[in-house]
Structure 1
Amino acid sequence: MTSPERDRARGCLRGLACGDALGRPVEFKTSEQIERSHGTVTEMLAYGTHGRPAGTITDDTDLALCVAESLVASDGFDPDDVAARFVDWLDAGPFDIGLMTRDAIAKLRDGTSPADAGQIVWESRPEGSNAGNGSVMRCAPYAIAFRNDAAELERVSRASSAITHADPRCTWGCVVLNHTIGGLLRNDPDPLGAALDASTDAPTALLSAIERVHDALDSPAHADALERDLATTGYVVDTLQTGLYCGLTADCAEDAIVDAVNRGGDTDTVGAVTGAIAGARPDTDSLPERWLDEIDERDRLDSLAEALLDVGFESADGDGRRE
């Protein structure tokens, strides 16, 4: 792989962690509450929500690390290995975890298969609490590993999401996000448009929201209209729409994450999704060192990003394409 591709892969995982850590102290605050307390959040803050030191990551990055380490150790997607790592993580007592994620991993721990755990939890939830953002926040490592294999990227994105989040808005949300990130890693001319073209079977609610982002990329009028409607709830469609808009329209990765986090709401996850996108862009500046210096997992993230670029390499043909 080229050095720019390596830089973008590192930027993707770094951005995810930076968005997560910048958003963690103000999670659940409104934009107005954030402004009254902090003005504009541009620095890693200590304490606040969850009462942790500056630069502390949450379940968003923790679970992405589980996914990345599984992909590298298994040289591909092994749902049983992913599930086992999720169970080990839950057993270690994380300070932050989503309700659907907790319930699904608890079922995995009790012996439910990865193919069934998320489905059971999804079916037990009423509409309005059954399509959270807990799988899109962690899925970016798949985009790095399978960036050159569109069919496999779709398959593993959907299957991995379904371990905890089986709603089609969640599974296809991971597909859209990962195809977009994969296109950014390859420096494709229209990664979001290609992601939409590859996701025509996705639920209408998801496609309509993402099409609005795509329209906004080239139209100030569409951008202004979308800006008024962006939301930062835990609903996967809201998170993905806002993350894609902030991640793809800002002038630099730092601005993208600051914009997303200061909108309030589910700030760590919206920040993480935005950061993964913005960090993978070939046309933005690198993330600020003052943020990265606060992230204890920085070296681990960088090492995994490079290793993910080589996942499946031994099964590729001489042109670097999977057979």
Structure 2
Amino acid sequence: MDPDRARGVILGLACGDALGRPVEFNSASEISAAHGRLDEMVGHGTWNQPAGTITDDTDQALCIARSLVERQAFDPADIAARFVAWYDSGPFDIGRMTMRSLSRLKHGDTWHEAGQHVWEQSREGQNAGNGSVMRCPPLAIPYASDWDHLTEVSRQSSQITHADPRCTEGCALLNLTVAGLLDDADTPLQEALEYVGSDAPAELVTALEPLVRDDAPATLETSGYVVHSLQTALHDGLRAETAEDAIVTAVNRGGDTDTIGAIAGAVAGARFGASQLPAQWVAALDEAAELESLAEELTTVG
């Protein structure tokens, strides 16, 4: 595996997250009015944090990556415990389903029960957020060549907080696509869809199949709904001509900018490598050194 592209997955995710953080929940027109085309790390804005600040997307990806490296295997109970410790630290940004699931973990649910219980108690429209797909790409690095195992661990990593099949299979499809990119697949998304097959919910397949055909949907939505986030982020991550353009395009669409930027960044990072990310973006990340180190160590896990 090309170590530059492994680092690209992790650093691309963090750069997309941090670039999108100050404009999260803004519309495309609001971003344009305030920044023109936002292509540099800026401070304040949504959550009122310094430039380059990461959010829950990268924080949880770090929990997964640290666990993989320290345990030298996928350990969902350990990852769940790290999520709870992060939750207890008082993060400024946390998704609703994630918060409810981590609260249940604190009160005795096991890692495979918490997300299931929250999902069963959530009505349609509030039960399939993007909170697990945004954090899952670190898994694609150690298991890039073992698609059976990568599919299983991707689903389980989602199950901790997001048990809806659109989320569990969304994580599998995203990670298989990233793994394909790391392995120089010609049609990574198509191969991922074929591998998951009928396990993927029809709504997810219907949203992603046009991307395989280079047939862009008329409208790319930017909500926190997992199907919207994956469709838009994969569109930008797979089609852009540079890693920078993938992330900038995704973020400037508005909406759930940090998460769609993070997913697009992980995909583009796998395509182009960390060396193709703007150096000033990476320099703005306080966590850059650890992210780079973890990415390299992830290649030796398993």
TM-score when normalising by structure 1 = 0.92
| Counterpart for residue 252 of structure 1 | 242
| 1:20 and 2:14 matched | no
Provide the C-alpha distance between the structure 2 equivalents of 1:145 and 1:94, rounded to a whole number of angstroms. 28
**Residue identity opposite 2:17 in structure 1:** D
Provide the C-alpha distance between the structure 1 equivalents of 2:275 and 2:206, rounded to a whole number of angstroms. 30
**Residue identity opposite 1:293 in structure 2:** A
Unaligned stretches of 5+ residues in structure 1? 217-221, 313-323
Provide the C-alpha distance between the structure 1 equivalents of 2:273 and 2:263, rounded to a whole number of angstroms. 18
| Counterpart for residue 289 of structure 2 | 299
Q: Within 5 A, what are the aligned runs for 1:80-229?
A: 80-200=77-197, 201-216=199-214, 222-223=215-216, 226=217, 228-229=218-219
- The alpha-carbon deviation at position 282 of structure 1 amounts to 4.2
- The alpha-carbon deviation at position 33 of structure 1 amounts to 0.8
Provide the C-alpha distance between the structure 1 equivalents of 2:273 and 2:92, rounded to a whole number of angstroms. 35
- The alpha-carbon deviation at position 171 of structure 1 amounts to 0.2
- The alpha-carbon deviation at position 31 of structure 1 amounts to 0.4
Residues 4 and 274, structure 2, Cα contact 8 Å, conserved in 1: no
| Counterpart for residue 231 of structure 1 | 221
Residues 116 and 159, structure 2, Cα contact 8 Å, conserved in 1: yes
- The alpha-carbon deviation at position 96 of structure 1 amounts to 0.3
**Residue identity opposite 2:244 in structure 1:** E
How many pairs are equivalent?
301
Instruction: Give % identity.
Output: 57
Q: Within 5 A, what are the aligned runs for 1:9-48?
A: 9-48=6-45
Q: Deviations over 1:118-165 (max 9, x none)?
A: 000001110011000000000001101110100000000001101000
Aligned partner of residue 209 in structure 1, secondary structure? helix
Name the structure, 1 or 2, with higher relative contact order (CA <8 Å, separation 6+).
2
> Which 10-residue stretch deviates more, 188-197 or 88-97?
188-197
Provide the C-alpha distance between the structure 1 equivalents of 2:299 and 2:123, rounded to a whole number of angstroms. 39
| 1:270 and 2:260 matched | yes
Runs of 4+ in 1 over 6 A off after TM superposition: none
Residues 4 and 273, structure 2, Cα contact 8 Å, conserved in 1: no
| Counterpart for residue 8 of structure 1 | 5
| Counterpart for residue 301 of structure 2 | 311
Unaligned stretches of 5+ residues in structure 2? none
Residues 97 and 118, structure 2, Cα contact 8 Å, conserved in 1: yes
Provide the C-alpha distance between the structure 1 equivalents of 2:184 and 2:272, rounded to a whole number of angstroms. 6
Residues 184 and 191, structure 1, Cα contact 8 Å, conserved in 2: yes
Q: Deviations over 1:234-284 (max 9, x none)?
A: 000000000100000000000000000000000000000000000110489
Root-mean-square deviation (CA), in Å? 1.1
**Residue identity opposite 1:310 in structure 2:** T
Provide the C-alpha distance between the structure 2 equivalents of 1:215 and 1:189, rounded to a whole number of angstroms. 13
| 1:241 and 2:218 matched | no
Question: Over alpha carbons, which structure has the higher Rg?
Answer: 1
| Counterpart for residue 64 of structure 1 | 61
Residues 184 and 282, structure 1, Cα contact 8 Å, conserved in 2: no
Aligned partner of residue 211 in structure 2, secondary structure? helix
- Going from structure 1 to structure 2, the CA distance change for 1:163 and 1:284 (only over 3 Å counts) comes to closer
TM-score when normalising by structure 2 = 0.98
- The alpha-carbon deviation at position 74 of structure 1 amounts to 1.1
**Residue identity opposite 1:102 in structure 2:** M
Residues 80 and 111, structure 2, Cα contact 8 Å, conserved in 1: yes
- The alpha-carbon deviation at position 188 of structure 1 amounts to 1.4
**Residue identity opposite 2:71 in structure 1:** S
